[in-house]
Amino acid sequence: MSLGGIRCLVTGAGGFLGQRIVCQLLAEDESLTEVRVLDKTISAEALQDFRKVKTNTLLTVIQGDIRDVALLQTAVQGVSLVIHAASIIDTRGLVDQQTLWDVNVRGTQLLLETCLRNDVQYFIYTSSLEVAGPNNRGDPIYDGDEDTIYWMTQGPPYAETKKEAEKCALELDSLPLKGGNSFVTCALRSMYIYGEGSPFLLRHLDESILNNNVFLRLSRKEALVNPVYVGNIAWAHIQVAKAMRDPTKVKQVRGRFYYISDDTPHASYSDFNYELTKELGFGVEPKPVMPVTLFYYYALFLEIVSFLLKPFFRYVPSITRSLVLLLNTPFSFSYRKAQRDFNYSPRYTWEEAKHHTCQWIAEITPLRAAHLKSKAT
C-alpha cells in the first residue's frame, strides 16, 4: 500500500524530527497530492531543505499555533492523514507546566476534535519513551517491548503530558466518521533521537567544547539505552501510515502504540556521545561527576532551592531528579512488534547513521567553538 494521491498534514514540521518526516513524504516514489506543513515557526533552512527534494507533491506551508482552532480547521480541510509531531520537549523544567499542558495535551485534543469534524481518517501521534519511564525507583528495563509490565508512578510534567496526549489519541480509534469510515489512530514511542540537527546533541557538544572537547560523564557506563537515528524514526511514521491504509494490516496497528528503535548499539548517554565524536578527537570523562545517589540528592537540593525562591523569581535547576534517573537507568526497547505488525525495518544502518551524524558534527564544531569563544569574551 502506498501514500500516493493523498493529502497529509504534518504538525511540528519545523522541528528536528518533523523536517525529516516531511522530506521523506515528499520523496515517496508514488507522489502524494499534497503535504501541508504546520508549525509555529519554520526556518528558512527547513523550507530550503523541503524544496530541494525532487517531487511532484504540492507543498503547503502553514505557520501558526496548534491551539488556534480556526487555523486547525483550515489545515485539515481535505486531508486524510495527520502526523502529529508538534510538541514542547522539556526534560529540564524550563517551561511552566500550564504551557506544557496547553500545547502538548490541549493542542492534541483540539487537533483530534478538528480531524473528527472534518472526516480525517488516519492519525499518527508522535509519542515518547518517557511515557513508559523510568520510574522514581530507577527500575531498569533491558530490551523491553509493548507487553513489558513496569511499575510507574507519576512522572515529570513533560512525560505526563505526552502520556495523556497519547491516551487521547488512542482512545478515539474506531470512532465513526461522517463518510462511513472509522477513525484510525496509532502512536509511535521513539527512543532518544540523534542525528544531524539534534538540539540535544548540540547542547552536549557545546558543554564538551567548553570542557576542552571532553564530554561530562552524567550517566554511568551500565545505564544502557538504545538511541534511534532521526531518519529511522521518520521512516517508521511513513511505514505505519502505509499500514493504516492497508486493509490487510490496519486491524493490527489501529489503537496501538509501538516502540521505535533501530540497530544503534546500546550504550549510556555519555558513552554514546563519545562514540559519535571520538574520531573527531573528543573524549569523555572516565568517572561520573559524582556518585548517582549523591547526584540525585544534589538535584533534590536544587529543586528545593527553586521552590523556596518561587515567590521572588523563577530559578530553573541545572539538573532534576527525574533527569538524573533518566540518564542513569538502563532502559532499552526492541522494535520487534513494529517489525511484525507493519514491516518496520530501519532505513539507515548504524554505520550510515553514525557517518551522517559524525559528518554534521565535524562541520559545525568549528562554528560552535568560535561562537562560544565570542560569548566568553
**pLDDT tens-digit readout, 295-339:** 999 999 999 999 899 888 888 888 999 999 999 999 999 999 999
Average pLDDT over residues 191-219: 94
Distance CA 277, CA 62 (A): 37
Burial environment of residue 52 by CB neighbours within 10 A (0 to 12, 13 to 18, 19 or more): exposed
Secondary structure of 298-319 as H, E, C letters: HHHHHHHHHHHHCCCCCCCCCC
Residue 151, Cβ neighbours under 10 Å: how many?
Answer: 9
Q: Determine which one of 122, 125, 158, 335 is catalytic.
A: 158
Question: For the segment 128-185, what is each residue's pLDDT rounded down to a tens digit?
Answer: 999 999 999 999 999 999 999 999 888 899 999 999 999 999 999 999 998 889 999 9
Residue 38, Cβ neighbours under 10 Å: how many?
Answer: 29
What single-letter DSSP state applies at residue 137? T
Q: What is the CA radius of gyration of the chain?
A: 21
User: 96 or 143: whose pLDDT is higher?
Assistant: 143
**Mean predicted lDDT score pLDDT of the chain:** 94
| pLDDT for position 375 | 78
Average pLDDT over residues 226-244: 98
pLDDT tier at 373, thresholds 50, 70, 90: confident
Average pLDDT over residues 190-219: 94
Q: Is 158 a catalytic residue?
A: yes
| pLDDT for position 191 | 97
Asked if residue 6 has pLDDT above 80, the reply is yes
Chain centroid to CA 59: 23
Q: Which three cell numbers, joined as nine digits, stand for 83?
A: 502526523
| pLDDT for position 70 | 96
Q: Which pTM value belongs to this model?
A: 0.95
Distance CA 290, CA 300 (A): 14
| pLDDT for position 369 | 86
